Structure 1
Amino acid sequence: MQEHKIFVLRLAAALTALAIFPIAGFVAFDMWSGSRCAEETTATGELDGAIAWRIARTDCAGGAPPFYDVSVGAAGRALGTAATSLGAPVPLEVRRLGADRIGVSLDRPWRGETVVEIRLRRTGGPAERIDLTAPEP
């Protein structure tokens, strides 16, 4: 019986030691890749109806184009991504278009429009997510 307990303890120790290597590798990779990117908020605001918005720009090393994230949500709550862009077009600001719609102003036309319309849920979060990098149909 004693030998059985020692075997189980040794097996548990060996499995724990083997599990540490992939976990440590993942943590190291995450720290390395995250340190190569810098995020800054380029614009923020609050619309009528207590809708908050934020445009963030992420620049990563290696010459990759900047990544833009437009987040929208109820003021004081977590924001959800409404639109993303890699390089161009660049989102400039968010404005209210109606009771359940917002518009994201762009620095250049996308699919013929300089303002992209996004539907909102009743909670204030985005009902859809638009990839502004997607090719035009």
Structure 2
Amino acid sequence: MTDFSYRWRDPVTEDELSALVRSHGGEPVPGWWNGIRRHSLGWVTARDRDGLLVGFVNVAWDGGDHAFLLDTKTRGTHQRRGIATAVVRLAVTHARAAGCEWLHVDFVPELRPFYFDACGFRPTEAGLIRLTGQGS
């Protein structure tokens, strides 16, 4: 992890985030970052020594007690090096410093060990309504 720098609210471009998403097989949505940035409490970036974006997490919030961890990403070639854990930990620190009481995260089942074991989240009961597509 010492080969990487981690920053809160580091300037990041749409192109950098799109490249990060593509690096692990994802399909970026044009305009995504420019559209949601204003709803964020902040975000954490991880960059290598050359300034390449290798990790990211966004922290959305309700303007009060609740923050929401979204879009945790690590460049495909840089996974399994502790980058995602480090960006989440820095996000937790800044959400706490902003006065948030709760930090929420949703994830697919295969990420349970990452969020629960590596990052310290705890299981909780929650509800969900699908608003689009099948089963809405």
Same fold (TM over 0.5): no
Higher strand share: 1
The structure showing larger relative contact order (alpha-carbon pairs under 8 Å, at least 6 residues apart) is 2
TM-score, normalisation: structure 1: 0.28
Higher helix share: 2
